[in-house]
Amino acid sequence: MALSYNKLWKLLIDKGMTKTEMRIKADISTTTLAKLGKNETVSMDVLLRICKVLKCDISDIIEIINEEDEGDGNQ
């Protein structure tokens, strides 16, 4: 399985907020922001702080992609 934070980036655009503004308001490090940019795992605490800042649900910022279902032909 893989993670995608594309929903987060789209939500930031919709709210007219930059990544840096979100990072400061959510009190997350630049390293953590870089991990989000690379679709790497971050702590649940970080995700919850982002949700609080953006006033959204966790499903609004993250998507889990099941790589096993892609192209295996077993449906």
pLDDT for position 38: 96
What's the CA angle centered on 54, arms 58 and 15, to 5 degrees?
120
Residue 67: pLDDT band with limits 50, 70, 90 = confident
Residue 10: pLDDT band with limits 50, 70, 90 = very high
Residue 41 belongs to some domain of the structure = yes
| Backbone φ and ψ of 6, nearest 5° | -55, -35
Residue 75 belongs to some domain of the structure = no
The whole domain housing 48 covers 2-68
Residue 20 belongs to some domain of the structure = yes
Q: What is the mean pLDDT of residues 5-19?
A: 97
Residue 74 belongs to some domain of the structure = no
Full DSSP string of 32-51: HHHHHHTT----HHHHHHHH
Q: How far apart are CA 50 and CA 5, in angstroms?
A: 12
- CATH no. for residue 11? 1.10.260.40
> Does the structure show a pLDDT above 60 at 66?
yes
Residue 55 belongs to some domain of the structure = yes
3-class secondary structure, 21: helix
| Domain count within the chain | 1
